[in-house]
Amino acid sequence: PREILYNKNIISTIGDLREEGYRNIIVQPTHIFFMEQSQDLRAYVRALASIDTTKKKWRPFDKLVMGRPALGMPGDSFDYHEDMAKAVATLAADAEYARREGAMLVYMGHGNEHWSTGIFSETQKKMREVYPDVETFIGTVEGYPGLDDVMKHLGHAGTRKIILKPFMIVAGDHAVNDMAGPDADSWKSILVKEGYDVRPVLEGLGSNDAFAGIFVEHVKDAARANGITLR
């Protein structure tokens, strides 16, 4: 199908939907948290939504809004602590697998160099509260906390086994190469060199139906908040 083989940017996609007659559109990001890409996406959405015309009938949209990422976003419309707690609740199978194997659970998030929030550290803390039998760590490919920051604490976990998983929607290039690849600078190679028994799991969060369902709920929230009826 064309929509699978050819990916368009957000402006083209919204334009296509408008040409098909849609005047109420919810753009739902599949990002983990509100960082650089979500900020840019919101800027596009707000810019297009702000288009005004002399006559109302020529306005391209009735409502064009954006939902929030999995772990929420800044602001008081929705409490990001609740979003984070719901996301953590969907990761019970990961924690149980690590517990059963007597291993630590180490996630690789994407992160970014644009700015770093404390969301990954806060999510790590929440994971340990909800699943106290498992030492959980979350690091990022870019920005803070990186693998070096994570490794400072691994030695205190009481086990040399690690379940290594991507804290990303898909297990793409970062997971296959940066996390579990054969090169010396992959997380797996670095950890193995330090004497850890590393078991990579190439499965993104999007493969977890409960986690993917968070985005569906966020679409519904955006619809309710903006008076949009979903069909």
Is 110 an active-site residue? Answer: yes
- Of the candidates 31, 110, 174, 218, the residue annotated as catalytic is 110
What is the rounded CA–CA span in Å between residue 132 and residue 127? 8
Per-residue pLDDT tens listing for the chain (231 residues): 676 777 889 999 999 999 999 999 999 999 999 999 999 999 999 999 999 999 999 999 999 999 999 999 999 999 999 999 999 999 999 999 999 999 999 999 999 887 778 999 999 999 999 999 999 999 999 999 999 999 999 999 999 999 999 999 999 999 999 999 999 999 999 999 999 999 999 999 999 999 999 999 999 999 999 999 998
- Give the architecture (CATH level 2) of 91-207: 3-Layer(aba) Sandwich (3.40)
Q: Which residues pair with 10 in a beta bridge?
A: none
Structure tokens, 190: 């670095």
pLDDT at residue number 116: 76
Structure tokens, 15: 């334009």
What is the rounded CA–CA span in Å between residue 92 and residue 211? 11
What is the rounded CA–CA span in Å between residue 208 and residue 30? 13
What is the value of pTM for the model shown? Answer: 0.92
What is the rounded CA–CA span in Å between residue 85 and residue 162? 24
Give 2-79+212-225's CATH code, choosing from 3.40.630.40, 3.40.50.300, 1.10.3720.10, 3.40.50.1400. 3.40.50.1400
Closest CA to 150 of 182, 198, 115, 184: 198
Q: Where in the chain is the domain with CATH 3.40.50.1400?
A: 2-79+212-225, 91-207
CA–CA distances in Å: residue 211 to residues 13, 191, 193: 25, 28, 33
pLDDT at residue number 24: 97
Q: What is the DSSP letter of 179?
A: I
Structure tokens, 102: 């007597």
pLDDT at residue number 220: 98
Structure tokens, 26: 């919810």
pLDDT at residue number 7: 82
Q: What is the DSSP letter of 205?
A: G
